[in-house]
Structure 1
Amino acid sequence: MGALQGKVALVTGAGQGVGEGIALALAAEDVDVAVVGRTLSKLESTCDLLRARGVRAEPFPCDVTDTPALPAMADAVVAEFGRLDILVNNAYAGAYGPLLDMSDDDFRKGFDAAPFAAFALMKACHPHLRGGGSIVNLVTSAMVRWDPTTYGAYAAAKSALRSLTRTVAVEWAPDGIRANSIAPHAMSPGLEGWAKARPEEAAAFVASIPMRRIGDPEADIGRAVVALVGPDLGYLTGATIPLDGGQAFFG
């Protein structure tokens, strides 16, 4: 029996890309998964992949920016699975571009999708995670990027989430809940589309990564999440783990 067998994870933005990769890696360790996202067809596709690995998976259509709806969604997950052990806040939708070209509403989108959504969902899940639960929040190396041009709104929202994660780790440690952040580079659909549209920029980006490749959502990011939520790293909380092939320096 594996260390995570029988546990239940809630993964947001799990219908594609990094979220799906994390869900698949957890399923490989016999973790049942609540697959959360906006598009039911994508959630069902991910659930099919997870069930093929022998675990239970159920779709939960939800827009995480609708924060008043998140407590009911978390309760529905627990009602369906009987427990909740792992929360992964991966879903994100925000604006990119020069700050002078960005509206207040566009700037606010990233905060709605990152710190505000994660805050609401972490609070909703807190009672169920007590006594050994683990939270993983996705941030970004854009927070410490050497040139943050066009990444300002994204980095600001994720910096807020990183700070929030650290506070959760400290305040909830007595409740037996750990919280860590990861800052991944992975071949998501969005990044893949950008690479195809701008191959020269993509090549330069890859060249700036010491390992000279972009991470795989399951093998590189998902497996790291498995390690983070497992017992071998049970004394680690409040940390930010770069999963970017050595590109960023968090200091």
Structure 2
Amino acid sequence: MTELAGKVALVTGGGQGVGQGVALALASEGVAVTITGRTLAKVEETARLITERGGKALPLEGNVKDAADLASMVDQTVATFGGLDILVNNAQEVPLGKLADVTDEAFLAGFESGPLATHRLMKLARPHMAARGGGTIFNFCSSAGIRWDMTGYGAYAAVKQAIRSLTRAAAAEWGAEGIRALTIAPHAESPGLKWWLENNPEEARAFFKTIPLGRIGKLEEDIGRAIVALCRQDLGYLTGATIPLDGGQANFD
């Protein structure tokens, strides 16, 4: 038995990439995991991988831009597993491009799937976490928010930086209830990052030179296992912080 055995987690965007890596890592510690995503087949595959390893998983189809879907995710998680201890706000649509080229629709989709969905899910999770004596919330940002040259990343950075503010507020307002909130800024072998590397080869070469460890993080081993560590009591005094899991590239000071 591990320290996290019997805990319950909800991971959005768990059908692939970082979300899948986090879900697998948590499940390996005995955490029952709800995996949500827009494509049912993808979250079912993550659930299959978890159950194949002997873990517990609930795959749910849902869109984080839909408030009713978010409420259903939390309700079904609690009904199935009896509570909620860990929330991983991973799913996010990304509004990339120069400011003149980013449409209102793309920016709004980034906002609705990012800070608005994060805010909604945190509020939905809070009473269930408080009822169990506390919990841990993980929100995701990006080093794009602190780039010196923001060209092409302004809209994306704006929605991600808003998420950092929500994390700080949740840590301050809910700490007395035993709820911790952390922002994670990862570089990982996700489909989105792989696409960017393949489609921006020149920028990608320069990008790798800025990573002291010289590589992109592995989904389960580097990002997922770090989330596991952050859930344990050894790091139970840490809250409100932005934690870069990026091989030493970004400076969030």
Task: Settle same-fold status: TM greater than 0.5.
Answer: yes
Mapped to 1, the partners of 2:159 and 2:200 lie a distance apart of 25
Mapped to 1, the partners of 2:72 and 2:203 lie a distance apart of 43
- Kept after mapping to 1: 8 A contact 2:141/2:160: yes
Mapped to 2, the partners of 1:113 and 1:202 lie a distance apart of 26
State whether structure 2 residue 31 is matched by structure 1 residue 31. yes
- Kept after mapping to 2: 8 A contact 1:26/1:222: yes
Partner of residue 93, structure 2: 93
- Kept after mapping to 2: 8 A contact 1:67/1:116: no
The alignment of Structure 1 onto Structure 2 pairs a total of residues equal to 251
**Per-residue displacement from partner, 1:110-155 (whole Å, max 9, x unpaired)?**
1111110011111111111111211011111111112221111111
**Per-residue displacement from partner, 1:203-229 (whole Å, max 9, x unpaired)?**
221122111111111111111111111
SS in 2 for 1:101: coil
Mapped to 2, the partners of 1:43 and 1:6 lie a distance apart of 21
Mapped to 2, the partners of 1:9 and 1:72 lie a distance apart of 15
Displacement of 1:195:
2.2
**Per-residue displacement from partner, 1:87-112 (whole Å, max 9, x unpaired)?**
00000012100001122221122111
Partner of residue 4, structure 2: 4
- For residue 147 of structure 2, the aligned residue among 138, 145, 148 is 145
Matched residue type, 2:184: I
- Kept after mapping to 1: 8 A contact 2:142/2:160: yes
Matched residue type, 2:153: Y
Displacement of 1:200:
3.4
Partner of residue 183, structure 1: 185
TM value normalised by structure 1? 0.97
State whether structure 2 residue 234 is matched by structure 1 residue 232. yes
Moved more, 95-104 or 12-21: 95-104
Mapped to 1, the partners of 2:134 and 2:126 lie a distance apart of 11
Mapped to 2, the partners of 1:96 and 1:228 lie a distance apart of 30
**Per-residue displacement from partner, 1:61-93 (whole Å, max 9, x unpaired)?**
110011233123211110011111100000001
Mapped to 2, the partners of 1:68 and 1:119 lie a distance apart of 14
Cα-Cα RMSD: 1.1
**Per-residue displacement from partner, 1:168-198 (whole Å, max 9, x unpaired)?**
0110011111111110000101211232334
SS in 2 for 1:96: coil
Mapped to 2, the partners of 1:37 and 1:237 lie a distance apart of 27
Partner of residue 60, structure 1: 60
TM value normalised by structure 2? 0.96
Mapped to 2, the partners of 1:67 and 1:83 lie a distance apart of 20
Identity of aligned residues (%): 58
Gaps (5+ residues) in structure 2? none
Mapped to 1, the partners of 2:223 and 2:152 lie a distance apart of 25
Gaps (5+ residues) in structure 1? none
- Kept after mapping to 1: 8 A contact 2:36/2:73: no
Partner of residue 70, structure 2: 70
Partner of residue 218, structure 1: 220
Matched residue type, 2:227: V
Matched residue type, 1:98: K
Matched residue type, 1:99: L
Displacement of 1:199:
3.2
